Amino acid sequence: MSEPGRDEEGTWLSPGVAGVGAASFFSDAGHELATSVLPAFLTSTLHAGPAALGAVEGVSDALIGLSKLAGGPLAADPRRRGRLASGGYLGTAVATAAIGVTTAVWQVGLLRAVAWVSRGIRSPARDMLLTSLVPPAAYGRAFGVERAGDNAGAVLGPLLAAVLVAALGLRHAILLAFIPGVLAAACITVAARAARRSVLPAEGRRRLSFNLAELRRQGLARVLVPATLFEFGHLAATLLILRATDLLHGPAAGGRSLTAATSLVIVLYAAHNAMAAVASVVGGHLIDRRGARWVFAGGGALYVLAYLTFAREQHGVLLLAAGFLLAGTGIGLAETAESVLVARALPESLRSNGFGVLGLVQSLGDLGATAVTGLLWALVSPQVAFLYATTWMVGSVLAALTVRARPSATAPRQD
């Protein structure tokens, strides 16, 4: 099928693109609300320990990568994308909110797994909706809007959690995560309707296939080299929070209490997410003007500076704030660029499969990075752990600047 007929570049910010961004915003606000409350819910309400939390989160993180890979072939059919996306957002909302009525840890684990599988399945469909709504020259800005919505939701979610827990308690706070989740499903439905008007009729239903051999022939492996290196150095934000909390309390930090340090770090993490939202929008514009490889390399370079900041044994609030802001800017630039690099490297018929493979790389890479870094932290030192992650980030920058993807028919020359 040929590239869909879409509006000129000047009108790229359509209701459909805005709908995708709003869906990411509401969905992330909902599941971040529940995620913020989940540790306290497991320990104080269900009387479980850290091992239970680790098991629940570990299984969920593994499942989201596999479900993203499976979602690629499913999203290849334009007639299926809208249902996949809206169903995925709604499934995430229902399963996440239902955690609020659980009475056993296994129930939490099951519902968390369902929510994360729904997130994974919908991701390639959502990304394909975006590419069908804008011309290739505006991919950067469109994915920037989606990433900005996601990161802005990550700012609102924990703030909502703090207010709702204080007013209503843990269970009711989790149950209310259903509201932003339903709003997300409504927004993606608006985007799906706009996308259906933008694409040409499909010639029969497509055969479900991962198309891995064809993806390799199209050069996806070269596109994923810098992304893979980046993800193997991309640490979960919880490690940044833990490191900052350790540095900001105790005698060396002026006698600051653990409670005061935790509250301060939460503010710094919110600033990290806010900066990621801004960087996603700015990075999207830069991608369309300068090229995705350069923006991706910039994101990796900022992470190098951020990790070196966290590796230092220092107790200054301003320096740690700079580390959070650098990391937030880095992820805003890099994640937006990764999606655009895949979109521009592949023809429309293979693009959803490419998004699925990228999702698998992101999930498994992040899981491995966090596990190895945590082990190095426990066995050696936090400095060695952050320097390990820094090495991967340096490799991703070098790869982004030296490994060139095979241009597709839709790829602008600057990439």
Q: Between these two residues, 329 and 403, which has the higher pLDDT value? A: 329
CA 157 – CA 34 distance, rounded (Å) = 8
Q: 152-166, 176-190, 394-408 — which is least confidently predicted?
A: 394-408
pLDDT for residue 241 is more than 70: yes
Output the pLDDT for position 343.
94
Query: Which SS3 state, helix, strand or coil, does residue 250 take?
Result: strand
pLDDT tens track for 314-324: 888 999 999 99
What is the distance of C-alpha 26 from the center of its chain? 14
Give the confidence band of 221 by pLDDT, cuts at 50, 70, 90.
Answer: very high
Give the confidence band of 55 by pLDDT, cuts at 50, 70, 90.
Answer: confident
- Average pLDDT taken over every residue of the chain: 89
Mean local confidence (pLDDT), 224-233:
96
Q: Which of 309, 303, 322, 332 is nearest to 144 (CA)?
A: 332
pLDDT tens track for 35-52: 888 888 888 899 887 678
Q: 33-42, 81-90, 198-207, 357-366 — which is least confidently predicted?
A: 198-207
User: Residue 250 forms beta bridges with which residues?
Assistant: 256
DSSP state string for 281-334: HHHHHHHHHH-HHHHHHHHHHHHHHHHHHHHS----HHHHHHHHHHHHHHHHHH
CA 370 – CA 54 distance, rounded (Å) = 12
Contacts of 409 (CB under 8 A, 6+ apart): 347
Enumerate domains of the chain plus CATH numbers. Answer: 15-200 (1.20.1250.20), 210-410 (1.20.1250.20)
Output the pLDDT for position 48.
86
Q: Which of 75, 73, 92, 98 is nearest to 23 (CA)?
A: 92
pLDDT tens track for 329-346: 999 999 999 999 999 999
Give the confidence band of 1 by pLDDT, cuts at 50, 70, 90.
Answer: very low
pLDDT for residue 414 is more than 80: no
Q: Between these two residues, 343 and 8, which has the higher pLDDT value? A: 343
Spell out the alpha helix ranges (H) of 99-177.
Answer: 105-133, 139-168, 170-175
pLDDT for residue 136 is more than 80: yes
